[in-house]
Chains A and B, each alone.
Chain A
Amino acid sequence: MKEELFASGRNIPNIDPYLNIWHWQIPLYLFLGGLAAGILFFAGFFFVRGKEAKMQATVKWAPILAPIALILGLGALFWDLKHKLYFWQLYTTIRLESPMGWGAWTLMIITPISILWVASYMKEIFPGWDWKFDILNRFEAWIIKNRVGLAWVMMIYSIILGVYTGILLSAFNARPLWNTSILGPLFLVSGFSTGLATTIWISNDAKERKTLSRIDLILIVIELFLIVHLFMGFLAGSQASIEAANLFLGGEFTVSFWIFVVLLGLIFPAVLETLELWGFHVPKWLPPVLILFGGLMFRFIIVEAGQITRYIY
């Protein structure tokens, strides 16, 4: 038997008895960041492949949501800061060792890029749109001319953003549940999948939806594979890792994770998308809603559960 207690009565808010310093803002931001990364990556990807005319929703329409998601995500991050008036200190230093430093700079770059991308399509999206100032019109023409370059930068930065949403957590060795390098690729794939789901929801073109659904199915399979690997890695790891895995294998997060994330958020929409590809009628909104719900739940559960896992006490 081993019993440990704070003889001096430590009971610090948000630290004891369980760490809970990051609340809903962080998982929401991770979700919105991944979503934007997914939308922007596929917009850039299909543009570079010359599918602009065939994939209108992917290249032109869905990206409108990306800057909105990014700005809402940044708002959530700002909300979560406890020393808010000093937030600008993020941009007075470049700290290569700090994942959060990386994230702050990545957002600083990808948010304006996503706005430029959408702005360059404003005239096509809203016929009759006028920038009013000559300099803006000339700037627009310059961007349209250099869209391929912009698309490449956007794709690279959306991968960095997607991976970063996982690395932000995996860099914390103190929280065994997060401390696995597989979280980077897992959050990337999950984010891309939620981005695709949003685009599928928006698209009205049957052919475009079919192409996107096929990619989404591959992403879901990869995601399931990575989840299995995540737990295999934990169970083959240290005592702290095994205890982290046990939160999901019989512990308090078992039902929420396997039912809401894996079953409702991954397997069920994958089955529906497959049925749709086979020609069955499936409500258009159902698979995307399930995928988005699963992605959001996934981030909430990982952030919440990770803070409970620890080395001592």
Chain B
Amino acid sequence: MRYAMAIDTKKCVGCSDCVVACQTENNVPHGYCRDWIVETVSGTYPSLDLEFRSERCNHCDNSPCVRCCPTGASHKVEGGIVLVTHNKCIGCGACIESCPYDARYPHPEGYVDKCTFCIHRVEKGQNPACVSVCPTQCLHFGDLNDPNSDVSLALKDRKWKVLAPEAGTKPQLYFLT
């Protein structure tokens, strides 16, 4: 099993619904977020290109945060989801330094926090909160090893990219372009 997410940048309108859904679902403290929207404008006027990306933890295959954690608080569970055990985390910040996507943040209570792919929902067979609220249905979640999963079907006929592949972390967020 390998959980992953595909984000359709052609459908995303940058409404931030996924951000608010995540904050509500996961009790994210005020001023913090586990997912966010990046708006990229490239090109020269008048031929400009606009891209919206809903970003979060990439749940990398080769995850530097898990590697550098001195206590084993950052760990991987079945399906490749990267999680943090709060009462094992000492708040040293090594994993925050190690993440090329700046997907982690220090929770005001001291431990380090990040996207969990809503594992508590996924275990019940539901989609992550961000996926289930997206009004344009641009987020696709599922098991990459299952050819009929939502994410596999989304990746099948489309071109995609990952962010900063040169960082060598084998990220698992696929941006459909």
Interface presence of A68 (CB below 8 A)? no
Contact B90 A311 (CB under 8 A): no
Known: A81-B92, A86-B90. Is A13-B31 also a contact (CB below 8 A)? yes
Known: A4-B38, A83-B89, A173-B167. Is A19-B96 also a contact (CB below 8 A)? yes
Partner of A310, one of B68, B94, B102: B102
Pick from A92, A98, A172 the residue with the most CB of B within 10 Å: A98
Interface presence of A246 (CB below 8 A)? no
* Complex-state Cα separation, A86 to B167, whole angstroms: 31
* Complex-state Cα separation, A53 to B82, whole angstroms: 57
Contact B36 A89 (CB under 8 A): no
* Complex-state Cα separation, A214 to B70, whole angstroms: 39
Contact A311 B70 (CB under 8 A): no
Contact B90 A87 (CB under 8 A): yes
Nearest B residue (CB) for A178: B97
Interface presence of B93 (CB below 8 A)? yes
Interface presence of A5 (CB below 8 A)? yes
**Chain A: interface residue count, which band?**
35 or more
For B120-157 the 0/1 string (1 means CB < 8 A from A) is 00000000000000000000000000000000000000
Which B residues are CB-close (under 8 A) to A13?
A: 31, 106
Contact B64 A174 (CB under 8 A): yes
Contact A80 B71 (CB under 8 A): no
Which B residues are CB-close (under 8 A) to A21?
A: 93, 96-97, 106
For A58-99 the 0/1 string (1 means CB < 8 A from B) is 000000000000000000000011111011011011010111
Contact B94 A98 (CB under 8 A): yes
Which A residues are CB-close (under 8 A) to B39?
A: 4-7
Which A residues are CB-close (under 8 A) to B19?
A: 8
Pick from A21, A81, A93, A101 the residue with the most CB of B within 10 Å: A21
Nearest B residue (CB) for A171: B68
Contact A8 B33 (CB under 8 A): yes
Q: Pick the 10 closest A-B CB pairs, nearest first.
A: A82-B91, A83-B91, A83-B110, A101-B70, A174-B100, A100-B70, A8-B37, A7-B39, A311-B164, A89-B71
Chain A residues within CB distance 8 Å of chain B: 1-16, 19, 21-22, 80-84, 86-87, 89-90, 92-93, 95, 97-101, 103-104, 171-175, 238, 240, 307, 310-313
Chain B residues within CB distance 8 Å of chain A: 14, 16, 19, 31-33, 36-44, 52, 64, 67-73, 87-94, 96-102, 105-106, 109-112, 163-164, 166-169
> 24 A–B contact pairs at CB < 8 A?
A1-B44, A2-B40, A3-B42, A6-B37, A6-B39, A10-B33, A12-B31, A12-B32, A12-B33, A12-B105, A14-B105, A22-B97, A83-B91, A86-B88, A89-B73, A89-B89, A89-B90, A97-B67, A98-B94, A104-B70, A172-B97, A172-B98, A174-B100, A310-B100
Given contacts A2-B40, A312-B101, 7 further A-B contacts (CB under 8 A): A6-B38, A14-B106, A15-B96, A89-B90, A101-B70, A101-B71, A311-B164
